[in-house]
Amino acid sequence: MLKKQTVWLLTMLSLVVVLSVYYVTAPKDMNDSVAFMNDQTKTNDGKEKAKGDAAVQETEAKGEKVTSSIASDDVFTALRLQIEDQRSRLRDQLNAVVASTSATAEQKSEAMDKIQQLEALAEKEATLETLIKSKGGYEDVLVRADGDTVRVTVKAKTSSKQAANEIIQLVKSELKDMQDIAVEFQPTK
């Protein structure tokens, strides 16, 4: 009887250790969102097409065309989800390198550094979006940093060179190493 208890205790302890290792190496920002959107829509004959400001989906119902449009708010949301999905996949790959037994310590260290850079970049993008919205009074802002380029899309009633310059200065103050900054204004409806 004592041997069975010992085996059971060792099994439970090993389970606790395995779960602890999983918890420590698991990504911190698990995305639990249920719905996913895509900014490309399909027509009834299966061809995909992408629209600039708003995506349009057409279907035929009893010989009539029924058209529905997705507002530009949804386009901003879809782009945010797409960026988050790409970064989540990259983060998963980097976490796999960190958890790998065949990776060297240097590779694991580089992967951890890249994970931290991704998290810092996402945080700075969110900060910039909030800062630009509050300072400019814009309806919506999307900041996308990729490599050494930053693309800022602003939903505003009017656009001006002065407003674009202020946005560029805000981005430069927050992301000092970025030199290629593009600002795009989208009209509100």
What CATH number does the domain containing 140 carry? 1.10.287.4300
Assigned domain for 12 exists:
no
Assigned domain for 18 exists:
no
* Segment 145-163 mean pLDDT: 87
State which amino acid sits at residue 162. Q
At 71 the pLDDT is 54
pLDDT beyond 60 at 91: yes
Range of the domain at 107: 70-187
Instruction: Please state, rounded to an integer, the average pLDDT across all residues of the chain.
Output: 76
What is the band of 7 on the pLDDT scale with cuts at 50, 70, 90? confident
Assigned domain for 3 exists:
no
Number of independent structural domains in the chain: 1
Assigned domain for 39 exists:
no
pTM, two decimals, is 0.57
